[in-house]
């Protein structure tokens, strides 16, 4: 069978969930509108009974309808499917018929259903040798379950056709970390313990669990955010140069970096009011914020602490990687001059850019001042960079795996999580930085907090 590169039948398992409504359908529509898909159909499933038209009316509120919406809807189909009902899979098979196109199964469901769905897709003969599968995060809820899941799905799909989502990997500035480090001869030589004092990886959100209490209370900040986004940022920041800039080499290097990571310290917090959120246990000790100090074995990162901080209901929404270099011991005209350490910030969102601080001379005096070299990404490239889910979907259609997480990365990530000790979270006021967070970093200061 000859497959067109940009064609697919998207089969969305969990078609009425937030992810499907808010991200997947709008993204497939955007791809269609931009002419990125040659041929496609969308078959969305969920437990409810409804017609294709009912489904359109559920999803259309989240879509900015411009040209082609009516035509797009002709490709939207709905099939009722209870993940645990054999008969429903047989019906889905009938609807898909002898689908000539490659199918892209998207498991936009809670992770506890992944194994059953994967197993049932195979046992009902729904998977051909061309089909692919995308798993939303979180992939497993600990090392054991992630391994078990990897074992199950590898019996159905080979690794080259498995796409584990971490949508941070497709953010422009996250992809830029690799380019910044390895395409610039001035960066890599100083990217080591001889020059770097410490690294901070911060992801701060100014909202709470937003209706996701049921999921969040089971996972918490460490399993929801640290296990995935933070550890991927850490892997990209600390990995060695990949032989090539392809999925295999980059993922090989990320796994090597992750396997050297050890947890040095951690604290957990919970925002005031969390216990009153819908679907959250009234006595829950789930953390909504955490700070974790990490180190890496080996000479390159010897003695360089990596402080990570992530949490909900903080003052602002932003994400960044901050690298602070060691202070020089320079003396001028016999006297010591106070100057700041250089730093480099990769600002992932909302501002997208790379900032480098340098010490320069104050005019007329032998005194230094801090100046910023500022590369504003949107100023150079405009604000219309593709949105993460559009990009991820088209990459999966085309078979590019660089922005997806491989089985061994996921297992390393869970290994690291399991090193963090359980402890009762402290309470923090919404929008406030708790003393525990401030003190966590010792003599150093959190950047921008
Ligand atoms: C998701 C987490 O993976 O990422 C959420 O489950 C979090 O808790 C979200 O809010 C943040 O994504 P972004 O792209 O808005 O930073």
179 and 44 within one domain: no
Domain annotation covers residue 449: no
Spatial separation of the C-alpha atoms in residues 436 and 427, rounded to whole Å:
10
* Substitution candidate for ligand 1 out of 167, 172, 286, 385 with most atoms within 8 A of CB: 167
The DSSP code for 303 is T
Place of tokens 């901070």: 200
Ligand 1 atom index nearest CA of 317 = 16
Predicted pLDDT of residue 331? 65
How far is ligand 1, taken at its centre, from the CA of residue 278, in Å? 19
Structure tokens given for 189: 């030589």
Tokens of 334: 């016999």
> Where is 196: in which H helix or E strand?
strand 196-204
Cα 285 to ligand 1 centre (Å) = 21
Within a 10 A sphere around the Cβ of 28, how many other Cβ atoms? 27
CB 340 within 8 Å of CB 328: no
Tell me the C-alpha to C-alpha distance, in Å, between residue 288 and each of 138, 200, 229, 309: 16, 19, 15, 11
Ligand 1 center to 231 CA (angstroms): 14
Residue 199 and residue 111 share a domain? no
pLDDT of residue 367: 81
Assess if residue 317 is contained within a domain: yes
User: Which mutation among 165, 205, 212 tests ligand 1's pocket best, with the greatest number of atoms within 8 A of CB?
Assistant: 205
For CA atoms 289, 166, 38, 92, the dihedral sign is negative
> Whole-angstrom Cα distance, residue 439 to residue 448?
15
Tell me: do 205 and 67 sit in the same domain.
Answer: no
The strand pairing partners of 196, in sequence order, are 325
Catalytic site residue from 75, 124, 229, 339: 229
Residue 383 corresponds to which tokens in the numbers above? 């604000």
Is residue 189 located within the same domain as residue 93? no
3-state secondary structure of 244: coil
Probe target for ligand 1 pocket from 136, 165, 168, 290, with the most ligand atoms within 8 Å of CB: 168
CB environment 422-432: b (16+ within 10 A), e (fewer): eeebeebeeee
Residue 341 CA, distance from chain mean position: 30
Reply yes or no: is the peptide bond before residue 138 cis, omega within 30 of 0: yes
DSSP states of 11-31 as a string? EEETTTSHHIIIIIHHHHHHH
In a domain, 418, yes or no: yes
Closest residue CA from atom 7 of ligand 1? 225
- Specify the number of domains making up the chain: 2
Nearest CA to ligand 1 atom 6: 224
Last residue of a domain, one of 136, 153, 187: 136
Sign of the dihedral defined by the CA atoms of residues 150, 153, 155, 159, in that order: negative
> Which helix or strand (DSSP H or E) is residue 268 part of?
strand 261-271
Co-location of 129 and 202 in the same domain: no
Distance (Å, rounded) from C-alpha 341 to C-alpha 359?
A: 8
229 catalytic? Reply is: yes
Distance separating alpha carbons of residues 186 and 253, to the nearest angstrom: 21
Residue ending a domain, among 84, 111, 136, is 136
C-alpha–C-alpha distance, residues 392 and 106, integer Å: 12
Q: Whose CA is nearest to atom 10 of ligand 1?
A: 205
Residues 218 and 120 occupy one common structural domain? no
Query: What's the whole-model pTM score?
Result: 0.93
Helix (H, G, I), strand (E, B) or coil at 266: strand
According to DSSP, the residues that pair with 162 across neighbouring strands are 133
Residues 78 and 188 both lie in one domain: no
Between the CA of residue 229 and those of 6, 86, 203, 319, what are the distances in Å?
A: 28, 35, 9, 10
3-state secondary structure of 435: helix
Residue 87 domain-assigned? yes
User: Are 17 and 77 in a shared domain?
Assistant: yes
Helices (H), 141-184: 143-154, 172-182
Task: Give me the CATH number covering residue 430.
Answer: 3.30.360.10
Q: Is residue 342 part of a domain?
A: yes
Bridge partners of residue 265, in order along the sequence: 293
Ligand 1 centroid, distance to 97 Cα (angstroms)? 36
- Atom index in ligand 1 nearest the CA of residue 216 equals 8
Residue 386 is predicted with a pLDDT of: 58
Judgement on whether residues 124 and 193 belong to the same structural domain of the protein = no
pLDDT of residue 123: 96
Q: Tell me how far CA of residue 203 lies from CA of 268, 347, 449, in angstroms.
A: 15, 10, 11
Phi and psi of 231, rounded to 5°?
Answer: -70, -30
315 alpha carbon – ligand 1 mean position (Å): 16
pLDDT digits (tens, 9 = 90+) for 105-118: 999 998 889 999 99
The C-alpha atoms of residue 160 and residue 315 are separated, in whole angstroms, by: 41
Place of tokens 């790379």: 354
Q: Which pLDDT score is estimated for 97?
A: 85
**pLDDT score at 336:** 58
Q: Which atom of ligand 1 is nearest to the CA of 228?
A: 3
Closest ligand 1 atom to Cα of 207:
10
Query: Residue 205: CB within 6 Å of ligand 1?
Result: yes
Could you tell me if 127 and 174 lie in one domain?
Answer: no
Q: 224 in ligand 1 pocket by Cβ < 6 Å? A: yes
- 275, 175: one domain: yes
Q: What pLDDT does 88 receive?
A: 96
For ligand 1, say whether the CB of 217 is within 6 Å of any of its atoms.
no
Q: Which ranges of the chain have pLDDT less than 70?
A: 1-4, 331-338, 383-386
Which residue range is the domain that position 251 belongs to?
169-440
Q: Look at residue 135 in the predicted model and tell me its pLDDT.
A: 96
Of 83, 113, 136, the position where a domain reaches its end is: 136
Give me the CATH number covering residue 57.
3.40.50.720
- Statement to judge: residues 203 and 110 lie in one domain: no
């Amino acid at each position: 069978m000859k497959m067109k590169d940009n064609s697919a039948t998207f089969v969305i398992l969990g078609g009425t969930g937030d992810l499907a409504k808010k991200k997947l359908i709008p993204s497939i529509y955007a791809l269609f509108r931009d002419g990125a898909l040659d041929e496609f159909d969308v078959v969305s499933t969920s437990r409810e009974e409804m017609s294709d038209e009912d489904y359109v009316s559920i999803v259309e509120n989240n879509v900015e309808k411009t040209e082609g919406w009516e035509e797009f809807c002709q490709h939207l189909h709905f099939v009722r499917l209870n993940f645990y009902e054999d008969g429903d899979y047989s019906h889905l098979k009938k609807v898909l018929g002898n689908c000539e196109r490659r199918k892209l199964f998207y498991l936009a469901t809670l992770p506890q259903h992944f194994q059953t769905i994967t197993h049932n897709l195979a046992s009902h003969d729904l998977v051909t040798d061309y089909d692919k599968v995308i798993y939303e995060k979180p992939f497993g809820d600990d090392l054991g379950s992630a391994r078990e899941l990897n074992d199950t799905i590898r019996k159905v799909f080979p690794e080259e056709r498995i796409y584990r989502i971490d949508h941070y990997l497709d953010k422009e500035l996250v992809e830029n970390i690799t380019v910044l480090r390895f395409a610039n001869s001035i960066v890599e030589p100083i990217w080591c313990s001889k020059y770097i004092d410490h690294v901070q990886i911060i992801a701060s959100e100014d909202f709470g669990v937003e209706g996701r209490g049921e999921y969040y209370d089971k996972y918490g900040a460490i399993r929801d955010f640290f296990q995935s986004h933070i550890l991927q940022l850490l892997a990209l920041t600390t990995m060695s140069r990949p032989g090539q800039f392809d999925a295999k080499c980059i993922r090989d290097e990320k796994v090597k970096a992750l396997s050297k990571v050890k947890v040095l310290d951690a604290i957990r917090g919970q925002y005031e009011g969390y216990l009153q959120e819908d679907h959250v246990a009234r006595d829950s000790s789930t953390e909504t914020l955490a700070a974790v100090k990490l180190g890496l074995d080996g000479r390159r990162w010897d003695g360089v602490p990596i402080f990570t901080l992530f949490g909900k209901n903080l003052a602002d929404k932003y994400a960044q990687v901050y690298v602070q270099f060691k202070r020089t011991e320079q003396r001028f005209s016999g006297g010591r001059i106070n100057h700041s350490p250089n730093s480099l910030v990769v600002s992932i969102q909302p501002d997208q850019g790379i900032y480098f601080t340098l010490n320069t001379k104050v005019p007329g005096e032998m005194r230094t001042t801090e100046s910023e070299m500022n590369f504003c990404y949107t100023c150079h490239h405009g604000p219309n960079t593709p949105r993460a889910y559009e990009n991820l979907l088209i990459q999966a259609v085309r078979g590019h795996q660089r922005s997806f997480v491989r089985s061994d990365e996921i297992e390393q990530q869970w290994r690291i999580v399991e090193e963090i000790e359980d402890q009762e979270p402290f309470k923090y006021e919404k929008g406030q930085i708790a003393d525990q967070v401030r003190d966590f970093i010792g003599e150093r200061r959190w950047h921008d907090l």
